[in-house]
Amino acid sequence: MFLSYAVVLATAVQCGEEAGGALCPGGICGWDGAPGGRYAWGYCFNEEVGCPAGYCDNNPNYPCYAGVNYCGRGPMQLSWNFNYGQFGESIGQKEELLQHPEVLKTNVTLSFMSAFWFWMTAQPPKPSCHSVITGEWIPSANDVSAGRLPGYGVTTNIINGGLECGHGPDSRVESRIKFYERYCDILGVSYGPDLDCYNQRPFSWGLLVESI
């Protein structure tokens, strides 16, 4: 039962943080004075704010289409052409997702499928978030030397480590932890070890792009 709680908690919390944390009437995100507090709210954005360009990697298997923007969309804010392509490939819609990634804003089923796909799928050298939170992932010697030990913090590293991990305290990481702790408290379960990634070397260290 604890394992089931852990999986649901970690998935929901990371999705909530990636999607902006909160949604209340009028589309205003949660804030400290909001009913229940800042961390009592759900999703906020179905697309990365501003939808910046530049999420195009030179990948012949998942080519970028002219005029198409592969910015973050959906509960996990799926981004980059190779992620849209791999997700599309897994459901037999590779070309559709590469040509029209914006469908994740309007198709609720596909949107949540993209989040589950990212959560469940390993992208070496990164393990899947699922394998980490269920305790199946065993860190290698390189992982240990990089400070990547089993715990919630590694899921943050997998998702956005290139921006949030390895440089000491980060407000985005702290926000993820606060959401996680809130739901753990509601269910009456422990937080587990290693919640942050402040001193973890990102999985993308030495690589060209971050995976999400």
Residues designated as active site: 17
At residue 73, φ and ψ (nearest 5 deg) are -145, 155
Sequence-distant (≥ 6) Cβ neighbours of residue 175 within 8 angstroms: 17, 21, 39
Q: Is 178 helix (H, G, I), strand (E, B) or coil?
A: helix
From its phi and psi, is residue 54 left (phi > 0), alpha (psi between -120 and 50) or beta? left
Distance CA 100, CA 26 (A): 27
Distance CA 156, CA 1 (A): 23
